[in-house]
Structure 1
Amino acid sequence: MHRATTMLSAKVLADPRSRQTREALPTLELGTRLEQICNLEAMAQVAQWDKSFKPDRVIAYAMASTKVKSGIITAPGAAMRSGGNWYNLAFNCGISPETQEVQSFEFTVGKPIPREEWADHALAPVY
């Protein structure tokens, strides 16, 4: 797994282009909100790690359920959309429920998910 040394989701959320996301997050149930912040962290970390990826969506529970234990959201079966394709993704996201800030993050990008599996996992094609 690639371990992040700098957390990026707070910077992404502070960007003026993220206004709608900033406004929507407080309306979500806490667990969903924390998972969405981890999804933002995943997109930012992958984009920084490999410039050929341009993630525009992450679904933490696409291929397997997430687990939460001791402030760590583990997503062994996440999926990431980039360039019109979905890729397997796994991540561990340490996030504080109190501050709602990512404190640690590690990830692995896997192989592309075959298009014939997208519908089974509710992976939307690019519109």
Structure 2
Amino acid sequence: MPSPYSLLGPRQLTLLCGLFLLLPPGQALAYDARLRPQFERLDSHTRLEEVCDTEVTLRINRDKPELQVDKVVAYTFKQPVEQSDRLAAEGAAFRSRGKWFHLRYKCQTGPRHLDVHDLSYQIGGEIGKALWRRYYLYD
């Protein structure tokens, strides 16, 4: 019997990832295994970005409990640079508590882009609401 998650497309997967990120940290990690089949269905480039976005969201929420990251966009201000199993997102952004913030991160995964081996990130300043429309950011 196929997994019910195998019926989801990339757009539905993104929504599922967003819902999974809203769960308390202990529960969110329990759902990680359920996302794996969906990550496996994505093309290699999309999978690298989605796995890294998911991991940086979890790490920020763990490291900075005052933030509640529910969305990361790797390509907000600059296209991420992919090299084999590495992604450098120098122009990323994340949303926390209805506000958007600048983010830079570097992520290295395994060869199948299903697990993160190394991740570093730097949180920048808040992005003013006047810029949201220009960069397709939303509430």
Both proteins in one fold, TM over 0.5: yes
Give the gaps of 5 or more residues in structure 2: 1-25
Greater helix fraction, Structure 1 or Structure 2? 2
Instruction: Report the secondary structure of 2:40's partner residue.
Output: helix
Q: Superposition RMSD on alpha carbons, in Å? A: 2.2
Q: Output the amino acid matched with 1:25.
A: F
Match of 1:16 among 31, 34, 37: 31
Unaligned runs of 5+ residues in structure 1 are 1-10
Residue 102 (structure 1) aligned with residue 123 (structure 2): no
Conserved 8 A contact 1:13-1:22: no
What is the match of residue 51 of structure 2? 37
Query: In structure 2, do the counterparts of structure 1 residues 41 and 16 end up closer, same or farther at CA, with 3 Å as the change threshold?
Result: closer
Which amino acid counterpart does residue 16 of structure 1 have in structure 2? Answer: Y
| 1:91 partner amino acid | Y
Paired positions, count: 114
Contact 1:77 1:89 in 2 (8 A): yes
* TM-score normalized by the length of structure 2: 0.73
Q: Which one of the candidate residues 43, 52, 55 is aligned to 2:66?
A: 52
Q: Secondary structure at the match of 2:134?
A: helix
- Give the % identical residues: 26
* Aligned mates of 2:135, 2:76 — CA distance in 1: 6
8 Å contact 1:58–1:78 — kept in the other structure?
yes
TM-score between the two structures when normalised by the length of structure 1: 0.79
CA shift in 2, pair 1:99/1:87, >3 Å = closer
TM-superposed deviation, 1:98: 2.5
SS of residue paired to 1:98: coil
Tell me: CA distance 1:113–1:27, structure 2 relative to 1, closer, same or farther (3 Å). Answer: same
Q: 1:12 to 1:95 in 2, by over 3 A?
A: farther
Given residue 90 of structure 2, which amino acid in structure 1 is its aligned partner? P
2:99 is the counterpart of 1:120:
no
* Greater length-normalized contact order (CA 8 Å, ≥ 6 residues apart): 1
